[in-house]
Amino acid sequence: MEPTPAIAPRTVPLWAWLVAALALALVYLLAADNGLVLGRAAGVVHELFHDARHFAGVPCH
Amino acid sequence: MSLGRCLRRGVAAGAAGGVALALALAVLGGAAISEAVELEEAGGGGGGPFSRGVQQVAGVVGAVALGVAVGVVFAVVFAAARHRLPGRDDWRRSLWLAAAAFAAGHLVPALKYPPNPPGVGDPATVGRRTALYVLLIAFSVVATVGAARLNNWLAARGTAAAPRHLLAVGAWLALVAVALAGFPPPPDPVEAPATLVWNFRLTVVGGWLGLWAVTGAVFGWLSLSPAERTGREDADSADTAGTAAEEAGGTSSRSD
């Protein structure tokens, strides 16, 4: 690993971090929620994306 | 490059990575999942509101959606960490970040809490298992960022490459070992056939490897200028710059 000091650092604005947080929340809702956020609908989401959830390696059932 | 452009690259790269995951799911993992579902139903469990066909199609769609979301996060982290990432161009930086994301986000958590096919897992413990899994991902991401920062900090102090790499990788391994030993074991017994479980786990690791390899490669490729892609116009100057940067990396001080 050779760090390259030649590049100037950039400040990533808040909105971009919020977009990233939103994407992470989407990953959680689609792949890992079991009712904590979605409540009863989590069961339907779980069954629908069943194969993707298992294949993502997320704890299931 | 503008941040909006960087995000669009992330979406494109993540979508391509998601397609790789979906392909692995459809071609390699689908059989194991269907077999496990049949076993589950034969045992009196399973059976949901959707048919297997719907689940298989939604599984592929879900895998692509996961890829896009992961690609967006990748792009934002890349923009913020670009000046700290190893490598002399965005191709190398992108591949490094993707490799780190695979190791920290999937490989380490899977060593402690390996993925299981349908039918394994007690619904009563799923909340606890999910919390442990998310916590371990968070821990291994922090450990990976910490080790990378240690490497860069030592570089800024003028530490030579070999001891610096040994210290950074050693610190990372120590943190990972502590987490793997310290986190509680997965609570549920695995009673599905061992061959089925093993094949399933291998295809899941392969699927994530594919997702990160494709995401990192597509993002890196899209970040390069046409001249950098072919290496024709400035091959000589790029080589010189690379050597100079490598020498500077070990000796000069850094601005951050």
**pLDDT per residue as tens digits for the range B129-143:** 999 999 999 999 999
Q: Are residues B83 and B165 in the same domain?
A: no
Q: Are residues B134 and B113 in the same domain?
A: no
CB atoms B66 and A19 under 8 Å: no
Q: Is residue B234 part of a domain?
A: no
Q: Are residues B152 and B166 in the same domain?
A: yes
Residues of A in contact with B41 (CB under 8 A): none
Interval A2-59: pLDDT, tens: 555 568 888 899 999 999 999 999 999 998 888 888 888 888 888 899 999 999 989 8
Q: Does A9 touch chain B (CB under 8 A)?
A: yes
Rounded-to-integer distance, Cα B97 and Cα B81, Å = 9
Q: Is residue B236 part of a domain?
A: no
Residues of B in contact with A14 (CB under 8 A): none
Q: Are residues B62 and B21 in the same domain?
A: yes
- Looking at residue A12, what DSSP letter applies? P
Q: Quick one: pLDDT band at residue B254, thresholds 50, 70, 90? A: very low
Please say whether the beta carbons of B183 and B136 come within 8 A.
Answer: yes
Residues of A in contact with B87 (CB under 8 A): 2, 4
Return the pLDDT at B253.
Answer: 41
Q: Is residue B245 part of a domain?
A: no
Q: Does A56 touch chain B (CB under 8 A)?
A: yes
Q: Between B33, B106, B152, which is nearest A54 by CB? A: B33
Rounded-to-integer distance, Cα B140 and Cα B106, Å = 9
Using the predicted structure, report yes or no on whether residue B126 has a pLDDT greater than 50.
yes
Question: Considering its fold, how many domains does chain B have in total?
Answer: 2
Q: Is residue B73 part of a domain?
A: yes
Question: Considering its fold, how many domains does chain A have in total?
Answer: 1
Q: Is residue B21 part of a domain?
A: yes
Please say whether the beta carbons of B118 and A54 come within 8 A.
Answer: yes
* Chain centroid, CA B192 distance in Å: 27
Q: In terms of CA atoms, which chain B residue is nearest residue A27?
A: B66
Domain that residue A23 falls in: 14-55
Q: Is residue A48 part of a domain?
A: yes
Domain that residue B13 falls in: 3-120+192-224
R_g of chain A, CA atoms, integer Å: 17
Collect all residues with Cβ–Cβ distance below 8 Å to A27 and sequence separation of at least 6. Answer: B66, B69, B70
Residues of B in contact with A29 (CB under 8 A): none
Q: Quick one: pLDDT band at residue B244, thresholds 50, 70, 90? A: very low
Q: How far is B183 from chain A (nearest CA, A)?
A: 15
Q: Is residue A6 part of a domain?
A: no
Return the pLDDT at B248.
Answer: 44
Q: Are residues B175 and B48 in the same domain?
A: no
Q: Are residues B33 and B74 in the same domain?
A: yes
Q: Is residue B246 part of a domain?
A: no
Q: Between B30, B106, B126, which is nearest A60 by CB? A: B126
Prediction ipTM score? 0.90
Q: Are residues B88 and B212 in the same domain?
A: yes
Residues of B in contact with A44 (CB under 8 A): 49
For an interface test with B, give the residue of A29, A46, A48, A51 to mutate (most B CBs within 10 A).
A51
Angle at B175 between CA B171 and CA B181, to 5 degrees: 145
Residues of B in contact with A52 (CB under 8 A): 25, 58-63, 66
Q: What angle do the packed helices B3-24 and A14-31 form, to 10 degrees? A: 20
Q: Are residues B28 and B100 in the same domain?
A: yes
* Chain centroid, CA B226 distance in Å: 27
Q: Between B29, B114, B249, which is nearest A3 by CB? A: B249
Q: What is the mean pLDDT of residues B33-48?
A: 79
Q: Are residues B132 and B107 in the same domain?
A: no
Rounded-to-integer distance, Cα B62 and Cα B221, Å = 25
Q: Are residues B33 and B138 in the same domain?
A: no
Q: Is residue A9 part of a domain?
A: no
Rounded-to-integer distance, Cα B212 and Cα B209, Å = 5
Return the pLDDT at B232.
Answer: 75
Q: Between A10, A50, A54, which is nearest B79 by CB? A: A10
Q: How far is A41 from chain B (nearest CA, A)?
A: 12
For residue A3, what are the β-bridge partners? B86
Tokens of residue B142, six digits: 């922090």
CB atoms B76 and A20 under 8 Å: yes
Tokens of residue B11, six digits: 């979406």
Using the predicted structure, report yes or no on whether residue B245 has a pLDDT greater than 60.
no
Q: Are residues B13 and B43 in the same domain?
A: yes
Q: Between B130, B165, B253, which is nearest A32 by CB? A: B130
Which residues in A9-48 are b (16+ Cβ under 10 Å) and which e? Answer: eeebeeebeebbeebeebbbbbbbbbeeeeeeebeebbbb
Q: Are residues B30 and B115 in the same domain?
A: yes
How many contacts does A have with B, using Cβ atoms within 8 A?
A: 186
CB atoms B50 and A50 under 8 Å: yes
Measured in Å, how far apart are chain A's first and last C-alpha atoms?
Answer: 41
